């Protein structure tokens, strides 16, 4: 009985510690989002636009943009199957349901802690192991970042920004010139990240030795554990040498980002932002993709809006940014958040129709990986 009591006590303390960590992340996340929202409103960049911001908006634009987002959401989820196939068997239904639930988790959970949900849940839908699934998600993120950075780099060469670039966005003293600098820095970062990813896959033994030598200076047991995790995560990149898996994934990734940019172009046109063409929309998309990598409030709140405002200010006059631009930012944000939530609901419904145990029953502890 005493042993059982000790076990219950340890378990309860662990649960309390987990809740405290989650609450701390939530408080930090809400604080970041609140500060950014205050800064934007103080700088004349509305979170909720005035009625006149919608005066030039076409009636068809929101349904059309939402239709494009459905295609984006479908492509984004389905392409993951190419990375999972070398690791084990996961039904397409399972890929869709776990991906859509996982995307909503990343959106809603503080400081991107929802990233662990997708690899954890997919282990309940097939024979893929947790750390290998985590490796596939990490590889997907790196390749996405690299592709998006290359698209942003090309788009900056093919567009004509305002000259000189404004030294503020609205009344917010943030120089727009930081956008190209951030874009080039991101390209370098993701090239390095992709190179390291490939190095750890193709030269895994070298990577494991490096970890044992460096981390081993602190603790041999810790070094062994980290090396084991790295080895299993690297196994999740088994798609790299396989053209049968890598090529279709890259084709669907390019289709996903192209449709994303077309949707933003469509929305900008429908909101009356005539200065935004396809390549300008690619710049908006690239800035947004890089911006939401920064930890922010739940729903990317704050960083999402500020990233798009900064990109708009490269091509659109200041007074237009604060009016039609605010309608564009508001609609893009609401449509994307709404679709993520709808996608999660559809994911749960799809999962409920599956013959095996529903994923909802496995959400109790998304921090553990098999």
Q: How does pLDDT run across 261-283, given as a tens digit for each residue?
A: 999 999 999 999 999 999 999 99
Give pLDDT, residue 355.
55
* Cα Rg, the chain, nearest whole Å: 22
CA–CA distance, 352 with 348 (Å, rounded to integer): 6
Looking at the DSSP assignment, which residues form a beta bridge with residue 169?
172
Contact 266, 285 (CB under 8 A): no
Answer whether residue 359 shows pLDDT above 60: no
* Burial zone of 218 (CB within 10 Å; 0-12 exposed, 13-18 middle, 19+ buried): exposed
Mean pLDDT over 318-334 rounds to 94
Q: pTM (2 decimals)?
A: 0.84
Range with the poorest average pLDDT among 25-29, 138-142, 167-171, 347-351: 25-29
pLDDT band at 61 (very low <50, low <70, confident <90, very high): very high
Does residue 132 belong to any structural domain of this protein? yes
Answer whether residue 260 shows pLDDT above 70: yes
pLDDT band at 354 (very low <50, low <70, confident <90, very high): low
Give pLDDT, residue 57.
94
Does residue 57 belong to any structural domain of this protein? yes
Which of 32 and 138 is assigned the larger pLDDT? 138
Contact 85, 245 (CB under 8 A): yes
pLDDT band at 210 (very low <50, low <70, confident <90, very high): confident
The CA-based angle 312-69-325, given to 5 degrees, is 20
Answer whether residue 13 shows pLDDT above 50: no
Query: Which structural domain range is residue 77 located in?
Result: 2-362
- Whole-Å CA distances, 347 to 95, 104, 231, 300, 343: 9, 10, 31, 21, 6
Give pLDDT, residue 12.
42
Q: How does pLDDT run across 221-236, given as a tens digit for each residue?
A: 877 787 777 777 777 7
Range with the poorest average pLDDT among 30-44, 201-215, 322-336, 352-366: 352-366
The length of the chain is: 370
Looking at the DSSP assignment, which residues form a beta bridge with residue 172?
169
Our count of domains for the chain comes to: 1
Contact 68, 266 (CB under 8 A): yes
- Whole-Å CA distances, 249 to 10, 138, 256: 45, 14, 10
What integer best gives the mean pLDDT of the chain? 84
Containing 253, the helix (H) or strand (E) segment is helix 243-270
Q: How does pLDDT run across 303-313, given as a tens digit for each residue?
A: 899 999 999 99
CA–CA distance, 96 with 118 (Å, rounded to integer): 11
Does residue 369 belong to any structural domain of this protein? no
Phi and psi, residue 165, nearest 5°: -65, 140
Interhelix angle 324-352/92-108, nearest 10 degrees: 140
Q: How does pLDDT run across 64-118, given as a tens digit for each residue?
A: 999 999 999 999 999 999 999 888 888 888 899 999 999 999 888 887 777 888 9
* Those residues with Cβ within 8 angstroms of residue 6's Cβ, 6 or more apart along the chain or in another chain: none
Which of 176 and 359 is assigned the larger pLDDT? 176
Does residue 368 belong to any structural domain of this protein? no
Give pLDDT, residue 54.
94
Q: What token pair was written down for 90?
A: 């996961």
Answer whether residue 362 shows pLDDT above 70: no
The percentage of the chain sitting over the pLDDT mark of 90, rounded to a whole number, equals 41
The percentage of the chain sitting over the pLDDT mark of 70, rounded to a whole number, equals 90
Nearest to 295 by CA among 101, 144, 118, 106: 106
Mean pLDDT over 125-141 rounds to 85
Give pLDDT, residue 366.
45
Does residue 282 belong to any structural domain of this protein? yes
Quick one: CA dihedral 148, 53, 69, 115, positive or negative? positive
Which of 173 and 297 is assigned the larger pLDDT? 173
pLDDT band at 18 (very low <50, low <70, confident <90, very high): low
Nearest to 99 by CA among 68, 133, 122: 122
pLDDT band at 24 (very low <50, low <70, confident <90, very high): confident
Give pLDDT, residue 17.
55
């Amino acid at each position: 009985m005493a042993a059982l009591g000790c076990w219950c006590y340890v378990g309860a303390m662990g649960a309390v510690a987990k809740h405290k960590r989650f609450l701390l992340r939530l408080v930090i996340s809400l604080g970041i989002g609140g500060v950014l929202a205050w800064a934007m409103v103080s700088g004349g960049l509305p979170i909720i636009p005035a009625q006149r911001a919608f005066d030039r908006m076409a009636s068809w634009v929101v349904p059309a943009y939402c239709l494009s987002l459905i295609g984006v959401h479908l492509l984004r989820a389905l392409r993951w199957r190419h990375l999972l196939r070398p690791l084990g068997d996961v039904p397409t239904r399972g890929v869709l349901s776990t991906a859509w639930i996982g995307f909503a988790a990343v959106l809603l959970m503080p400081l991107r802690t929802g990233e662990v949900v997708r690899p954890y849940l997919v282990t309940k839908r097939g024979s893929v192991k947790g750390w290998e699934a985590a490796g596939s998600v990490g590889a997907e993120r790196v390749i996405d970042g690299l592709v998006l950075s290359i698209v942003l780099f090309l788009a900056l060469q093919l567009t004509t920004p305002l000259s000189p670039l404004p030294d503020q966005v609205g009344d917010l003293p943030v120089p727009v010139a930081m956008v190209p600098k951030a874009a080039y820095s991101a390209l370098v970062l993701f090239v390095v990240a992709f190179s390291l990813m490939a190095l750890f896959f193709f030269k895994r033994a070298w990577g494991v030795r490096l970890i044992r030598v460096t981390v081993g200076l602190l603790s041999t047991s810790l070094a062994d554990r980290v090396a084991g995790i790295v080895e299993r995560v690297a196994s999740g990149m088994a798609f790299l040498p396989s053209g049968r898996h890598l090529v279709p994934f890259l084709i669907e990734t390019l289709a996903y980002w192209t449709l994303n940019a077309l949707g933003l172009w469509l929305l900008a046109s429908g909101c009356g932002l005539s200065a935004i063409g396809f390549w300008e929309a690619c710049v908006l998309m690239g800035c947004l993709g890089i911006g939401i990598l920064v930890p922010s409030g739940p729903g990317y709140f704050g960083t999402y809006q500020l990233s798009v405002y900064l990109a708009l200010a490269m091509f659109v006059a200041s007074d237009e940014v604060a009016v039609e631009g605010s309608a564009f930012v508001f609609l893009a944000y609401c449509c994307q958040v709404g679709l993520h939530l709808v996608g999660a609901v559809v994911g749960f419904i799809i999962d409920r129709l599956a013959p095996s145990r529903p994923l909802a029953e496995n959400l109790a502890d998304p921090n553990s990986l098999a």
